[in-house]
Amino acid sequence: KPMALIKRLRKAKKETPELEKPQAIKTHLRDMIIVPEMVGCVVGVHQGKTFNSIEIKPEMIGHYLGEFSITYKPVKHGRPGIGATHSSRFIPLK
């Protein structure tokens, strides 16, 4: 399977004119290690629901594709509600 992705990336790179980004190649292979041949390509890495487009740079070599496509929405904590702390007993209900 990893070789099929590399072949598709080669083809996309070859068909792209100079000074342009190649077409994004979609993949579910989050466990594939980035190799030097992939540098400059655009890969759509599946994150469970959609594909995240990632342009591969030289400093990414040796990392997994999945490291650059987060699978969860980071938690954003809001204001604490009534009953969240022990001292909230003394705050009047609105």
Q: Mean of the pLDDT values across residues 66-72?
A: 90
3-state secondary structure of 43: strand
Q: In the chain, how many H helices and how many E strands?
A: 1, 3
SS3 45: strand
For residues 15, 18, 23, 29, the Cα torsion angle rounded to the nearest 10 degrees is: 90
What pLDDT digit, counting tens, does each position of 20-49 carry?
Answer: 888 889 999 999 999 999 888 899 999 999
In the chain, domain spans = 2-72
The fold adopted by the segment(s) 2-72 is 30s Ribosomal Protein S19; Chain A (3.30.860)
Contact present, 59 and 41 (Cβ < 8 Å): no
